Amino acid sequence: MNAVFFLLPVALGLGALFAGLFLRAVRAGQFEDLDDPPERMLRD
Amino acid sequence: MSALPAQSPCRHCGAAVEADAPKGAVYCCSGCELAAAIVDGAGLEAYYAGRSKPAPRPEGPARGLDQLHVETDAAGLCHATLRLDGLRCASCVWLTERVIEGRPGVKAVQVSYATGRTRLSFDGAVTDLTQILSPVAALGYRPQALSSAPVADRDLLIRLGVAIFAATNVMMLSVSVYLGWWQGMEERFATLFRWATLALATPATLWSATSFFRAAWVGVRHKSLSMDLPVSIGVALLYGHGLLATFAGQDGYLDSLTMLIALLLAGRVLEQRGRQGALAAAQALAATAPRVARRIEGDRIVDIDPKDLDVGDLIEVAAGEELSADAVVVSGTASVAMALLTGESEPVAVLPESAVVAGALVQEGALRCRVTAVGGETLLQRLARGLAEATDRHVEPGPIDRIAPLFTAGTLLAAAGTFVGWWLHGGLAAAIPPTVAVLVVACPCALALAQPLAVAAGLGASARRGLLFRSGDALRALAQIDTVALDKTGTATGGRPVVVLADDATLRIAAGIERGSIHPIARAIVEEASRRGLPIPMGRLLQEVPGVGITGEVDGTVYTIARGGPGTVEVRGVGTITLRDTLRQDAAATIADLRAAGARVVLLTGDHGDVARRVAWSAGIDHVVADQRPDDKARWIAAARAEGHRVLFVGDGLNDGPALRAADVGLAMGSGAPSTMMAADAVVAGEGLGPILSGLRAARAAERAIRGNLRRSVIYNILAVCAAAAGLINPLVAAVLMPLSSGLVIWGALGVERALSEKR
């Protein structure tokens, strides 16, 4: 069970990594326009 | 004699190529030739094959690009967001993106077809916006500064992301802790989990939830208590208790806390998205302003900024261009669309000495005009200003905000009662846990979600059906409506009357006087005169009193044109002209449905009673208020409101401004004047009256959802507080109950779209 002391920070670190990725995606404006990209795919 | 062979239309913009152009010319002007050279030169000929609408006509170099906001990031890459006007079909997006991508130094570009929003990244050392966008401007697209910044939205989204990260991980930890209650758990693991929970809950509370604290503080300072206050108190209490409990080695309610913060923020993001989407669409409908003016200086023509125009300047306007000032035509003839002012997209013919107004679009021909008013003095700007004043409406606080203070007081009373009760019963140590539980479960998160989610659902549902609201308050006001007042011309009818009976002499004089007028009736008269091939005399308009009539001079005689009998216009002493207006296609069906929905439908019009009654009869309206001048309409609405009615007014023209302001909810037809749209609470996008009905249904469904949510969450809170006071609530029970109540409220809000889909 002592593995928990190691696994918990790993799990939280992974979570934080994804939160960070989300943050980057927001900053890059990926969530600003949710309507156009699906149409764009059909146009190209 | 054989007719001139018809030239095929311009390859680029589709306009007619001048008949005197060299045979075989494929472009109407050098601008289009240049634009086509850019397209061909970049290997993008596929654009001409794939497009569904012709390109906008080039208007000369883009201006003010150096003033657009550019952000430079740490890596030296520049980012700019702007709006591209003139996108007409998906191929335009394809073309502009390819052209911009092909410029040196450009790293990325993305153009949104729906809103024209364009995002650019480029190497600031190699190029600048002017260089990048010049070819796009040469193609006829107009780069513009973006009016609204999306910064707030991003910030909220990041806060939500952090809150969700915290909530999901805390949940994982808490499940382990709760399982430990039954299966046993070594204290060191429980301690680790509690501290990890606190570490996760801290950013969620101290950063993600700060917007609630701020809103609550603003509410307190302005003495208008909203739901943010009890929410903030709840969040602060939950976190404070969790902090102390963790230090004391006990379980707190931090799992409920993070979950609730995430749900509340999600509700707020949904609400903001719905509102911004509708606002952006309304802005796109209304966005129009001339970008460049061509001033004639001696024998040269100089491109200048419309701001630099002066009264008395001579300007040239060609097909495809908008007038940048009010002016009088000096030479040339053209057909001009005055959609801005009248809501009519059909062009009207203008000749020398006709008056033209800023914002009018020249569709064919070319004009030289003498400027009579510029900038803020143009008719367009004056009317827009008039409408912009006093558009702020007082909105009654919603049922949720009204009960917020009551709620807070009730919670505190319940907590005090619990504390005293347990203290007397079992002493101080026994009193604290149930008191904390009461304060915790009373956190009115479901209540706080109840309204924004339902409003967001209502805004979205009505936007998808063609009614764009400018605010959630307008949606709520619409739900209370019991009287629908429709303007006739341009709203109930398509606003295009046609002349059905007139003799040539009368028509000739009326057309001569009204040739420069933009009123639909004047246009019908001028069009009929042209259709009959009558030579239209050079009349002069002397005076125009909106809603009454005009006086003017033709061939040295002064005539008065006024409303005559039903559906007629009378040229005093000469004769009468009979006109007929045509009803919108879906008017009768929509009005029947509105009445079935319990609304009294009234036709409120400046026209004569008999005409109005005829239109009303064919539309199925039984209540007609005719002969109303713009101010009368506003007075009638005010009187109806004073009798206790809630009035929705639907109009389209600038003269409807006072009535739009006077009504509980003012709706503008999307085909109408942009400034009318800016004064209205909501805009009908697209044709027909149908969206009004959908909007009303959406508003009522949202209001029902709000009330249902209110009932559900109040019942939940009362039950939960009672249970807590009885000592039945522990952190596990709270962790199940509190998100469950929020879930119920979300389910209630989803009912709005469900209710509307079933009706369809």
**Tens of pLDDT along B634-654?**
889 999 999 999 999 988 765
CA separation, residue B279 to residues A23, B341, B659 (Å): 26, 21, 22
Q: What is the dihedral of CA B28, B30, B31, B33, to 10 degrees?
A: 80
Please answer yes or no on whether B112 and A36 come within 8 Å at the CB atom.
yes
pLDDT at B519: 64
Q: Is B627 left (phi over 0), alpha (psi -120 to 50) or beta?
A: left
Note every long-range contact of B228-234, with CB atoms under 8 Å and residues 24 or more positions apart, other chains counting: B228/B448, B229/B404, B229/B408, B230/B404, B230/B407, B230/B408, B230/B411, B230/B442, B230/B443, B230/B444, B230/B447, B230/B448, B231/B264, B231/B443, B231/B444, B231/B445, B231/B448, B233/B408, B234/B439, B234/B440, B234/B442, B234/B443, B234/B444, B234/B445
Shortest Cα distance, chain B CAs vs residue A36, angstroms: 6
Cβ pair B603, B659 in contact under 8 A: no
pLDDT at B390: 35
Which pair of tokens denotes residue B221?
Answer: 């300072």
* Residues linked to residue B557 through DSSP beta bridges, in sequence order: B554
Does residue B189 belong to the interface with chain A, where contact is any CB pair within 8 Å?
Answer: yes
Average confidence (pLDDT) over B588-592: 89
pLDDT at B150: 44
Which pair of tokens denotes residue B504?
Answer: 């040539």
pTM given for the model = 0.61
pLDDT at B320: 65
Average confidence (pLDDT) over B369-376: 83
B 45-84 residues inside an 8 A Cβ radius of A: none
Within a 13 Å sphere around the CA of B66, how many CA atoms are in the beta-carbon half?
Answer: 1
Q: For B1-146, give the CATH class.
A: alpha beta
Q: Over the stretch B522-556, which tens digit does the pLDDT of each residue have?
A: 778 888 888 888 887 777 777 665 456 678 888 88
Contacts of B168 in chain A (CB under 8 A): 15
Shortest Cα distance, chain B CAs vs residue A34, angstroms: 10
Radius of gyration of chain B (CA): 32
More confident residue, B101 or A33: B101
pLDDT at B60: 57
pLDDT at B195: 92
> How sure is the predictor about B714, in pLDDT bands with cuts at 50, 70 and 90?
confident
> How sure is the predictor about B608, in pLDDT bands with cuts at 50, 70 and 90?
confident
Q: Is the pLDDT of residue B86 over 90?
A: no
* Interface size, chain A vs chain B, as Cβ–Cβ contacts under 8 Å: 60
pLDDT at B133: 84
Interface with B, mutate which of A18, A32, A42 (most B CBs under 10 A): A32
Average confidence (pLDDT) over B23-40: 73
More confident residue, B518 or B504: B504
Contacts of A3 in chain B (CB under 8 A): none
CA separation, residue A19 to residues B90, B188, B245 (Å): 35, 28, 27
pLDDT at B393: 42
Shortest Cα distance, chain B CAs vs residue A16, angstroms: 7
pLDDT at A7: 87
pLDDT at B227: 73
Which pair of tokens denotes residue B257?
Answer: 């806390």
Max mean pLDDT range (B38-47, B156-165, B326-335, B678-687): B156-165
Nearest CB to B192: which of A5, A16, A23?
A: A5
Query: Where do you find CATH 3.30.70.100 in chain B?
Result: 1-146
Note every long-range contact of B546-551, with CB atoms under 8 Å and residues 24 or more positions apart, other chains counting: B546/B629, B546/B630, B546/B655, B547/B606, B547/B628, B547/B629, B547/B630, B547/B655, B548/B629, B550/B513, B550/B514, B550/B517
Name the amino acid, one letter, at B89.
C
Which pair of tokens denotes residue B226?
Answer: 């909203």
Please answer yes or no on whether A39 and B113 come within 8 Å at the CB atom.
yes
Which pair of tokens denotes residue B380?
Answer: 């367009």
Query: Where do you find CATH 3.40.1110.10 in chain B?
Result: 498-580
CATH of B498-580, one of 3.40.1110.10, 3.40.50.720, 3.30.70.20, 3.40.50.10490: 3.40.1110.10
pLDDT at B582: 75
Nearest CB to A33: which of B117, B162, B172?
A: B117
Q: Is the pLDDT of residue B149 over 60?
A: no
Interface with B, mutate which of A42, A43, A44 (most B CBs under 10 A): A43
Distance, in Å, from the CA atom of B638 to the CA atom of B631, rounded to the nearest integer, reads 11
What percentage of chain B reaches a pLDDT higher than 90?
8
Distance, in Å, from the CA atom of B601 to the CA atom of B285, rounded to the nearest integer, reads 27
Residue B328, SS3?
strand
Distance, in Å, from the CA atom of B499 to the CA atom of B180, rounded to the nearest integer, reads 86
Q: Over the stretch B263-306, which tens digit does the pLDDT of each residue have?
A: 888 887 877 776 666 666 555 555 544 456 788 887 777 777 77
Does residue B90 belong to the interface with chain A, where contact is any CB pair within 8 Å?
Answer: yes
> How sure is the predictor about B497, in pLDDT bands with cuts at 50, 70 and 90?
confident
Distance, in Å, from the CA atom of B697 to the CA atom of A14, rounded to the nearest integer, reads 46
**Shortest CA distance to B476 belongs to which of B649, B747, B705, B657?**
B705
Q: Is the pLDDT of residue B30 over 80?
A: no
Distance, in Å, from the CA atom of B470 to the CA atom of B278, rounded to the nearest integer, reads 7
Does residue B165 belong to the interface with chain A, where contact is any CB pair within 8 Å?
Answer: yes
Query: Where do you find CATH 3.40.50.1000 in chain B?
Result: 457-494+584-700
Does residue A15 belong to the interface with chain B, where contact is any CB pair within 8 Å?
Answer: yes
CATH of B457-494+584-700, one of 3.40.50.1000, 3.40.50.740, 3.40.50.720, 3.20.20.60: 3.40.50.1000
Nearest CB to B169: which of A1, A4, A15?
A: A15
Distance, in Å, from the CA atom of B726 to the CA atom of B735, rounded to the nearest integer, reads 18
Nearest CB to A33: which of B112, B186, B193?
A: B112
Q: Over the stretch B431-467, which tens digit does the pLDDT of each residue have?
A: 878 888 887 787 777 777 888 788 888 888 887 787 8
